[in-house]
Structure 1
């Protein structure tokens, strides 16, 4: 059940955290959670903590932590405390905090709130299978080990030498709690949760409570899949006499079919995928905010209210309220992200966009690995041409590459050559003759200096091909475009020829003419 969301405390300095597990490529949900945590922290002058929950050693991956740091930093979701920057509550890796958990677990055992369980994994599997077969209304662990000594339990089947430790869930366990987003919630009754595994590592449920307490976490923000675990966590807080944090359960990111977005089925679930695909970090941050939060509402001078979907992290944080979050799982719409990415690309200064493009272009081989100053200057000019139509940084390679190939060896795509008409040789001959009359002398207007500008280039070619030969522009400029870029589609033709320069342009035309 849900009622009015709980109020937001302001008397204490907020301390929030994101606590991913290094079990593979970072999930986009980690950035989603980090974003909302960080927005609240920055608004209220609090502290944002990055904690690595690496107690799942079976799925642990060595390179995952570095990827996590790198991708969150790329997004600008910077933390105040963490494994790499330290802080007053170090260490920030759970595997380095094992001594921290032991006393808490012992206190629970001594107080009767937890007990040892020696049941083997085989017995537990059989128990679950039997409960499913019989459609038993009671599921979960059957408490066979509760109240037994090791010796007593060893006399029964399904014994394991190394025990786990389980919570003893009382019959009257409180199941309701307040949520900052969803109001008053009720979760299902939990079973006797394992809090220490046979390998000595605490489970998530134990470690998260201890770590959040020891690190002074005031608000626990996590996905809605953890709603069912909250009664267990609240029990641990109460049994141990620890202050309880506030809880906020975010809606899960979903596919169009309403299924949960997963790394196994969705490449876009991997946080590294967005950089690989050429998205700008600020566009992705804006997109993730919109997944759980409404657009910014503005009022103009006439009193008209409008919604604005493009906003910065700072704007998002300044107006942040838990009550504005939509608890319904948002659809992960990449079309919206593509649109946002295009908006942010077009708003970048040309020199900054060129700098962001450069690593992608070098990786693709579109630009030399160590470009000269002249080659970098050319890149800025080309960037200005392609910026209006660019939606992803990775889409620039095919448009930029022709500007960096030898002028006498421009590769020509088959589809570009296939579109040529029988008169292509004559068209190219006329283009060469017309452009040889355009000099490199200063001058911006055709007929006044005939300088090598895109205006003069266009005027010369239109005069020779459209007016002189009576060709439609499509057929007049198609062979020229193919000669210059080797492509059926290219950046604006006349501006491209201006960037290449007179000599390079004529060399390309003459080389192409010789191949016809």
Structure 2
């Protein structure tokens, strides 16, 4: 099979949801492959049968599609499954043993601890010259060279020399013969002709060992590139116990995939100018792995949210409506399905689009249009319904019974009524907004009133006046009002 000159690989384990750090690694690998007409190899490292699940594998592939890494692209190859290659891993282990580059060891952890006097020291080489053959409870260890150095050339971190005397004789296979990660990972990379290993810096300690394995198997090591760790606002490495990590969770919160891609690409790299919002195609063209900064990258959710707002505002009207669709139905929408009016939403959508930072915010922006009664934010109510709010609402209600039902007329009337009460428009519209929408902040008031209609607006003003007169009743449900009127 003819293979491209540059071959990168992304090798996730299907043991959970798709980590944002994994998404960044995949995007960097994808950029290197595509800009060089190379190949992106997806290898699923699924040998941990106790933790793996087919549904996680399917989730990885879906997540990659979401961020633009498509299996239908000519640059994409795979997925390969590490579990399909176990026989080859065993074969490589035998090859290393036959070449005297590995040896069998029957030492237990307790025995090593007793000999070294420490729980943290590495293996002491006790079995190196014992000449043990394979057998029950005999693990296979790599024979690290006694002298010299292993020089690791990293595209991001430069060249680092590791003294071989400081690298223990590490394990290649367990006592039952099953290969360990280090061996399986290298054998798969060798067999798949991987030329560039671009991954998180947590793998950096394994790199000199893996390079020794590459050389022992008769292959030139790949170009290494270890990406900077991603940290939270406290500059702590992202942790699933403390931070939100799953790409799927961010998408479920209303982040656009395009915004996520843009932001993730900038976690350690930049285009070299002041721009931050730019399409992936341009980032792919400009990206160079050697330009990645090795310093920790801060995952700033506020900045990501600002990015998302920019991307939302850039959508076409049709694309925005389509993107909002999941949040306009159950379980997100608080209104019954039959209450939703697509024409009303189409009219209000342009007003909402300029105000959203997350797509999920659309629900509370428009809920007052599709509910029988608004959901009152109690803090908003307390803030707006002060002093002569009842007198103002009463006068507005009277004026609105006959005014032409257009936003300009509605605004003119409220301006005049507010003036008679000594209030500027901004102050005068606060109690009206809360009475009609339930909140002090939201879509433009007069366009909202026009869409809501005269009958529903007057009804809500009446209910607000009743609530002011009888503050002990919240009137959250139709039954409340019916009981009051009996």
Calculate the TM-score normalised by the size of structure 2.
0.86
Q: Determine the structure 2 residue equivalent to 1:105.
A: 93
Judged with a 3 Å threshold, the aligned counterparts in structure 2 of structure 1 residues 36 and 482 are, in CA distance, closer, same or farther, namely same
Residues 167 and 195, structure 1, Cα contact 8 Å, conserved in 2: yes
Note the 1:266-277 alignment, pairs <5 A: 266-267=243-244, 269-277=245-253
Residues 48 and 79, structure 1, Cα contact 8 Å, conserved in 2: no
Shift of 1:473: 2.7
SS at match of 1:162: coil
Note the 1:329-368 alignment, pairs <5 A: 329-366=296-333, 368=335
Note the 1:89-238 alignment, pairs <5 A: 92-124=80-112, 130-132=117-119, 139-148=121-130, 161-172=136-147, 174-187=149-162, 189-238=166-215
CA distance in 2, matches of 1:341, 1:365: 20
Gaps of 5+ in 2: 469-486
Shift of 1:215: 1.5
Shift of 1:109: 0.7
CA distance in 2, matches of 1:248, 1:263: 25
Q: Deviations over 1:275-302 (max 9, x none)?
A: 23322211121111111112453xxxxx
Note the 1:377-396 alignment, pairs <5 A: 377-396=343-362
CA distance in 2, matches of 1:274, 1:109: 48
RMSD over aligned CA atoms reads 2.9
Shift of 1:511: 3.4
Shift of 1:43: 0.9
Calculate the TM-score normalised by the size of structure 1.
0.82
Shift of 1:469: 3.5
Q: Determine the structure 2 residue equivalent to 1:480.
A: 432
Q: Determine the structure 1 residue equivalent to 2:380.
A: 416
CA distance in 2, matches of 1:502, 1:39: 55
Shift of 1:244: 2.9
Selected match of 2:367 from 393, 401, 416: 401
* 2:38 is the counterpart of 1:46: yes
Selected match of 1:490 from 429, 435, 442: 442
Judged with a 3 Å threshold, the aligned counterparts in structure 2 of structure 1 residues 433 and 352 are, in CA distance, closer, same or farther, namely same
* 2:462 is the counterpart of 1:510: yes
Judged with a 3 Å threshold, the aligned counterparts in structure 2 of structure 1 residues 456 and 13 are, in CA distance, closer, same or farther, namely farther
Residues 91 and 97, structure 1, Cα contact 8 Å, conserved in 2: no
Residues 187 and 228, structure 1, Cα contact 8 Å, conserved in 2: no
Shift of 1:145: 2.7
Q: Deviations over 1:372-419 (max 9, x none)?
A: 8x722322333322222221223333222222101xx33333223323
Q: Determine the structure 2 residue equivalent to 1:302.
A: none
Judged with a 3 Å threshold, the aligned counterparts in structure 2 of structure 1 residues 424 and 259 are, in CA distance, closer, same or farther, namely closer
CA distance in 2, matches of 1:108, 1:350: 62
Shift of 1:263: 1.9
Q: How many pairs are equivalent?
A: 463
CA distance in 2, matches of 1:378, 1:253: 43
Q: Determine the structure 1 residue equivalent to 2:483.
A: none
CA distance in 2, matches of 1:484, 1:103: 74
Shift of 1:37: 0.6
